[in-house]
């Protein structure tokens, strides 16, 4: 394995990497960082937990100096992911004196306005970035790097027009880095429009084999919650349960609590403050079970999740991929379980075509 000390990286960065126990490069870092140093545009398919954030943060931090103007722009689909990416930039750039601003909606814009005016790096969600650009408080004219993180999710969430508008504020001469858990025709279309002769780096499920166990239980819809409770008491650990609707997350979490399980819900109806408090309780183990909609299937940075339950299956197979990507991260073992009722069978057929050889049936 290649080590960070083997790369031409300043001591300011390597000392922070060492401090956090980051010594060897992951596969995606080993492939991508040298390309970025060579000023290549890249499009990268890499699953969550593969170390992609450090893969683009380290070389962009290395290449810029404090200037109090935006040199790196990172666009993310969710507030949670924006915060996590910004934390990595802050962590590894502080000895260089770089300033990082994080911008997202749902909170006061005033503090963010002050941050972006002197920032070297800006990480944000499309809506708030556009707001700041239109107010003329965010200046991207000197930007050297554009990072589009989780491109497939951005497109799934309907941000294509916002992305186009944001990029129109940037100089045409820049380096473009695009990362995605899956590369589909829409992602390729976005890459074709904005990336200059990009190098493709495709990493397929390198983390999952042998460390992620996948099972399914056939169960009647009305018996799902009872089976879930029984399995949670058996399969102990830090657990994410995915439901398709906000209402169901509330009902399932309430039922679990009534039966002595430390659970809470996470969905789009909650305020940003409430979501952050719930995530903090989950990450600290104050609650064992988080019942969530797909708002949590991306950008949730909790390293020790041991179990994923699909209470409902999503229509899109990519959603299943993103959900199970919350566990079995960085070499740790994990378990993904599907509670399969009759109405889920058409969706299950799609999943079995991709993952069939890895998903085992279990008797309830």
pLDDT at 220: 95
The pair phi, psi for residue 220, each rounded to 5°, is -70, 145
Residues 186 and 160: their CA atoms lie apart, in Å, by 10
Q: Which residues of 187-216 are buried (b: 16+ CB within 10 A; e: fewer)?
A: bbebbeebbeebeebebeeebbeeebbbeb
Local structure of 312: helix, strand or coil = coil
In-domain check, residue 207: no
Count of domains forming the chain: 2
Inform me whether the pLDDT recorded for 76 exceeds 60.
yes
Does residue 161 sit within a domain?
yes
Q: What is the pLDDT of residue 206?
A: 45
What are residue 308's DSSP bridge partners?
240, 336
Q: What is the dihedral of CA 144, 80, 277, 245, to 10 degrees?
A: 160
Looking at 158, 182, 202, the residue that finishes a domain is 202
**Mean pLDDT value across the chain:** 91
Which of 202, 234, 265 delimits the end of a domain? Answer: 202
Q: Are residues 59 and 137 in the same domain?
A: yes
Most distant pair of Cα atoms in the chain: their distance: 61
Q: 295 is in which domain, residue-wise?
A: 212-362
173-183, pLDDT tens digit by residue? 999 999 998 88
Residues 73 and 173 in one domain: yes
**Is the CB of residue 263 less than 8 Å from the CB of residue 253?**
yes
- CATH number of the structural domain spanning residue 101: 3.40.50.300
Same domain, yes or no: 163 and 281:
no
Q: Are residues 191 and 253 in the same domain?
A: no
Whether residues 126 and 261 fall in one domain: no
| Predicted local distance difference test score (pLDDT) of residue 207 | 41
Does residue 44 lie in a domain region?
Answer: yes
In eight-state DSSP terms, residue 69 is S
61 in any annotated domain: yes
pTM for the whole thing?
0.74
Q: Are residues 187 and 222 in the same domain?
A: no
Write down which residue in 202, 237, 271 finishes a domain.
202
Q: Is residue 25 part of a domain?
A: yes
Q: Are both 102 and 81 inside the same structural domain? A: yes
Q: Are residues 93 and 113 part of one domain?
A: yes
Residues 130, 148 share a domain: yes
Whether the predicted pLDDT of 141 surpasses 60: yes
pLDDT tier, 208 (very low <50, low <70, confident <90, very high otherwise): low
What band does 356 get if pLDDT is binned at 50, 70 and 90? Answer: confident
In the block, which residue shows the tokens 């070499």? Answer: 331
Domain annotation covers residue 300: yes
Q: What are phi and psi of 316, to 5 degrees?
A: -95, 130
Q: What is the reported pLDDT for 171?
A: 97
| 60 or 270, which is more confident | 60
Res. 302: pLDDT tops 90: no
DSSP 103: E
SS3 213: strand
Distance in angstroms (rounded) separating the CA atoms of residues 46 and 52: 7
Other CB atoms within 10 A of residue 166 CB: 22
pLDDT band with cut points at 50, 70 and 90 for residue 49 = low
Nearest residue to 120 (alpha-carbon basis) of 99, 142, 139, 145: 99
Same domain, 229 and 178: no
Query: What per-residue confidence (pLDDT) applies to 184?
Result: 86
What is the total residue count of the chain? Answer: 364
**Residue of 131, 167, 181 whose CA lies nearest to 299:** 181
| pLDDT (tens digit per residue) in 215-270 | 999 999 999 999 999 999 988 899 999 999 999 999 999 999 999 999 999 988 88
Per-residue pLDDT tens digits for 142-162? 999 999 999 988 998 899 999
Do 291 and 341 fall within a single domain? yes
Q: In whole angstroms, give the CA distance from residue 112 to residue 103.
A: 6
pLDDT reported for residue 297? 56
310 in the same domain as 248: yes
Mean pLDDT of all residues in 47-68 = 91
Q: Which two tokens stand for residue 169?
A: 């504020």
- How close are the terminal C-alpha atoms of the chain, in Å? 43
Distances in Å between the alpha carbon of 189 and those of 42, 183, 194? 14, 10, 9
What's the mean pLDDT in 101-130?
95
- For 6-46, write each residue's pLDDT tens digit: 888 998 999 999 888 898 998 899 999 999 999 999 999 98
Q: Which two tokens stand for residue 251?
A: 């009902």
């Amino acid at each position: 394995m290649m080590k960070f000390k083997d790369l031409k990286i300043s001591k300011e960065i390597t000392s922070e990497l060492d401090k956090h126990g980051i010594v060897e490069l992951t596969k995606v870092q080993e492939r991508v960082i040298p390309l970025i140093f060579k000023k290549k545009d890249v499009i990268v398919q890499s699953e969550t937990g593969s170390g992609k954030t450090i893969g683009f943060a380290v070389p962009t931090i290395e290449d810029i100096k404090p200037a109090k103007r935006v040199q790196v722009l990172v666009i993310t689909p969710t507030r949670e992911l924006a915060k996590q990416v910004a934390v990595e930039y802050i962590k590894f750039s502080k000895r260089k004196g770089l300033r990082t601003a994080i911008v997202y909606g749902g909170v006061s814009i005033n503090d963010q306005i002050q941050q972006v005016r002197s920032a070297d790096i800006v990480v944000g969600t499309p809506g708030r970035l556009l707001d700041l650009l239109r107010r003329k408080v965010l200046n991207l004219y000197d930007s050297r790097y554009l990072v589009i993180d989780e491109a497939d999710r951005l497109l799934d969430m309907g941000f294509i027009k916002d992305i186009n508008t944001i990029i129109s504020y940037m100089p045409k001469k820049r380096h473009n880095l695009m990362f995605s858990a899956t590369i589909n025709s829409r992602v390729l279309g976005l890459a074709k429009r904005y990336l200059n002769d990009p190098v493709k780096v495709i990493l397929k499920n390198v983390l999952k084999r042998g460390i992620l166990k996948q099972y399914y239980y056939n169960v009647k819809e009305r018996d799902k919650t009872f089976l879930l409770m029984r399995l949670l008491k058996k399969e102990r650990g830090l657990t994410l349960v995915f439901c398709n609707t906000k209402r169901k997350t509330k009902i399932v979490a309430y039922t679990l609590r009534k039966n002595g399980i430390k659970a809470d819900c996470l969905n789009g109806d909650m305020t940003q403050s409430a979501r952050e408090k719930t995530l903090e309780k989950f990450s600290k183990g104050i609650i064992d079970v988080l019942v969530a909609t797909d708002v949590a299937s991306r950008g949730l940075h909790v390293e020790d999740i041991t179990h994923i339950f699909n209470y409902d299956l999503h229509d899109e197979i990519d959603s299943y991929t993103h959900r199970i990507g919350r566990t079995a991260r960085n070499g740790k073992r994990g378990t993904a379980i599907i509670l399969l009722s009759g109405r889920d069978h058409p969706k299950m057929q799609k999943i079995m075509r991709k993952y069939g050889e890895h998903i085992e049936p279990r008797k309830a």
